[in-house]
Structure 1
Amino acid sequence: MIETHSRVIVGGGLEGLAIAWSLADRGDTDIVVLERDTLCSGMTGKSSGVVRCHYGVPSLAAMSRYGIDVFTRATELFGDDMGFQQCGYVVGVGADNVEPLHANVAMMRDLGIEVDLVDHDTVAALWPGLHLEDFAAFAYEPLGGRGEAYLTGMAFAAAARRLGVRIRQSTPVRALLPRPDGEVYGVTLADGSEIHADTVILAAGPWTPALAAGAGVDLDIKAQRAQLILVDQGAPTPVVPVLSDLAGLSYLCREPNGEILYGNSDHSVPQYIDPDDYVNRADESTIDTAIAELGHRLPDMPDPRITGSYVGAYDVTPDYNPVIGPAPVDGLFLAAGFSGHGFKISPAVGKLAADLILDGKTDLPNVDPHDFRWSRFAENDPLLSPHPYRGAGEMR
């Protein structure tokens, strides 16, 4: 059996659903989204949901700022608040990273992003009880905060369906369908049936490289283990900003129930995993590190205990930045390798992809599509921050 559509999107996670909604919102509605399991059941559901514009790459900072606009207007746009809480975002650095902090804040201000350099007293008032003596400087984004990737993806899905997009769950894609000249004209499903399309959009997270390889496209994307730990302080944490601790190379977020989510910002020795076969809990060494760092950063916790942990996978490229754009073969569009940035930029990813597919260009302010081209790796032109943070440059 052969089915035909204008667009096929492989991957029913956050990015694929954002692209589906953005295309449909522009009137391009003959779309089918194919998800091998249930919507947002892959790495979308493992996202920590941090929202920040603090990047050294201007295009990423601008994409995050666009995302904040969508998140704050979510009820108006989608009839759903997407779980976004604008609690603010603080990044603190040690003495060796003061210079890049100042440079990145200046760049963000040039883009119109609301960010300030703040002092120790300001941060102490924003999050009482933090040990701050080993920080040399801080930046604060009042519009940053915390969202829910699963809720965001489902809001995109519901809005796309209302516009006519078809979404098929429990529909694994076996392979892409290439012509002899390399052009991709559809996909083969696990049941042997085919779906043909003018454009196949590959947005399958860490599962993307295996599918792309079937069309002769080599994507150097690995699944990097990301461990997250939940901690109850012994009393509910009040509403506080997200803290990016670049002195201790970790980040802390307040959960909606008042617990704290601890994540690692040190990617100097990455662990790679099979996204279909890994242990979904933090290992002992990571737990030990989290206990030590939390005890240092929050020394007055009344009765701390770990309440749980889980593991996701960043789909990382060599430069820790995504590939968004046409593949080197006709008929195939790539949206993968988000390297931990995907949640906060997902609204902009949807718009950028829709603009490039329909127009070949974008009007996203301060975003250069050339930055995210597939060919940059072969060209030895990785997308890197001009002002990286020592010890945490990969994610900034």
Structure 2
Amino acid sequence: MAGTTDIVIVGGGLEGLAIAWSLAERGGVGVTVLERGTLCSGMTAKSSGIVRCHYGVPSLAAMARDGAEVFSSAEQILGADVGFRRTSYIVGVGEVNAASLRANVAMHRELGIEVELVDHDAVAQLWPGMRLDDFAAFAHEPGGGHGDAYLTGMAFAKRARELGVQILQGTPVEALRIGPGGDVIGVELGNGDRIDAGAVVLASGVWSPELAGPAGLDLPIRPQREQILLVGTGEPLRDVPVFSDLVNLQYFRGEPSGELLVGNSDHSSPEFADPDGYSNRADPGFVEVNIGKLDHRLPAMPDPRIASSYAGCYDVTPDYNPIIGPAPVENLFLAVGFSGHGYKISPAVGKLAADLLLDGASSEPSVDAADFRFERFAEGRPLVSRNPYRGAGEMR
């Protein structure tokens, strides 16, 4: 069987579905999404769902700003609940990073992000019982919080289908099809069927390099395993602010269940893994280190205990920032390497990709499409924070 469409999106996770939704909102093009399993069943389902705008790269901060606006109005925009809870977001730093924090907050305000520097007393009111004496400064985003990546991806899919997008599950892509001139002309499916397309969007996360390689494209993406703990604190913690602890290099937030989701912000010694064959449980050493950090930060927890744990893989690039834009292979578009930023910026990723695919330029003045170009690595011009944090630069 052979089919034809304007744009094929390989990957039915959060980013692929955000792009499908945005293209459908623009109208005038036929879009087909191909997912090898079920929608959002890969790394999307492992996302922590943090919503924050605190980045040292202005384009990323602006994309997170626009993402938060979509999440907070999802019922009206997407016609579905995405599990967003506006609990606010706090980041705390030590003295070595206080100047960077103040510079980032000033930059965020220029972008129209609601954020303020707050003192120890204000944080103590927002997070009672937290040890704060080793922090030098804090920033607070009232519009931050957390959502559910699976629900968000399914909401993108629902709206995209309503607007005419074809979404096929259980449809693995075996290879990109290359024409006589070296350009991409479509995809070949696992069952031997072909789909011809004017453009192919590669949005398959940690699995993207194996598809890009045979087309002559070496994607600088590695699967970095990240572990998550769910901690019962002895009392429900549902609507506390998301907290980024850049002294202990840890983050945590409340779960709808009342447990505390605890993650890692120390990427100095990354663990790379097989995305189809890694342990889905936290290692004993990770548990010991992170519970120690949590005990230090929240000493008043009445009865802390591990409720559960899991792990996922970030699709990381050398600069820990995404690649969004045309590949150096004609008719191939990349939306890969999200490096842990994917949830919060996903609505803006959809919009930027649709702009570039249909118009060749970003329509959002504060989002510079050139920041995310594939060629930056070969040029030796990685995308890095203007105001990096010592010890936590990779994810900021």
Task: Tell me the equivalent position of 1:101.
Answer: 101
Task: Tell me the equivalent position of 2:271.
Answer: 271
Are the counterparts in 1 of residues 238 and 257 from structure 2 also a CA contact under 8 Å?
no
Secondary structure of 1:140 counterpart: strand
Matches within 5 A, 1:65-104: 65-104=65-104
> What is the Cα deviation at residue 179 of structure 1?
1.5
Gaps of 5+ in 2: none
> What is the Cα deviation at residue 60 of structure 1?
0.1
What count of residue pairs does the alignment treat as equivalent?
Answer: 396
Deviations 1:58-96 (A, max 9, x none): 000000001011111111011212100111000000111
Taking the aligned partners of 2:157 and 2:365, their CA distance within structure 1 comes to: 25
Q: Percent identity?
A: 64
Matches within 5 A, 1:352-371: 352-371=352-371
Is residue 334 of structure 1 aligned with residue 328 of structure 2? no
Is residue 376 of structure 1 aligned with residue 392 of structure 2? no
Give the structure-1-normalised TM-score: 0.99
Taking the aligned partners of 2:147 and 2:364, their CA distance within structure 1 comes to: 22
Deviations 1:331-382 (A, max 9, x none): 1000000000000000000000000000001212400000000000000000
Amino acid at match of 2:189: L
> RMSD over aligned Cα, in angstroms?
0.7
Secondary structure of 1:214 counterpart: helix
Taking the aligned partners of 1:61 and 1:226, their CA distance within structure 2 comes to: 23
> What is the Cα deviation at residue 181 of structure 1?
2.2
Amino acid at match of 2:70: V
Are the counterparts in 1 of residues 238 and 259 from structure 2 also a CA contact under 8 Å?
no
Deviations 1:289-310 (A, max 9, x none): 1110111111111111100000
Is residue 202 of structure 1 aligned with residue 198 of structure 2? no
Are the counterparts in 1 of residues 238 and 256 from structure 2 also a CA contact under 8 Å?
no
Is residue 188 of structure 1 aligned with residue 188 of structure 2? yes
Matches within 5 A, 1:218-229: 218-229=218-229
Deviations 1:145-203 (A, max 9, x none): 10100000000000000011111111110000012322001011110111110000000
Task: Tell me the equivalent position of 1:8.
Answer: 8
With over 3 angstroms needed to count, the CA separation of the structure-2 counterparts of 1:238 and 1:177, relative to structure 1, is: closer
Taking the aligned partners of 2:311 and 2:355, their CA distance within structure 1 comes to: 34
Structure 1 runs, 4 residues or longer, greater than 3 Å off: none
Task: Tell me the equivalent position of 2:158.
Answer: 158
Secondary structure of 2:39 counterpart: coil
When structure 1 is superposed on structure 2, of 89-98 and 360-369 the one drifting more is 360-369
Are the counterparts in 1 of residues 85 and 146 from structure 2 also a CA contact under 8 Å?
yes
Amino acid at match of 1:166: Q
Are the counterparts in 1 of residues 238 and 255 from structure 2 also a CA contact under 8 Å?
no
Amino acid at match of 1:146: H
With over 3 angstroms needed to count, the CA separation of the structure-2 counterparts of 1:368 and 1:297, relative to structure 1, is: same
> What is the Cα deviation at residue 29 of structure 1?
4.4
Task: Tell me the equivalent position of 2:23.
Answer: 23
Amino acid at match of 2:262: Y
Is residue 51 of structure 1 aligned with residue 45 of structure 2? no
Secondary structure of 1:318 counterpart: coil
Give the structure-2-normalised TM-score: 0.99
Amino acid at match of 1:55: Y
Task: Tell me the equivalent position of 1:300.
Answer: 300
Are the counterparts in 1 of residues 230 and 307 from structure 2 also a CA contact under 8 Å?
yes
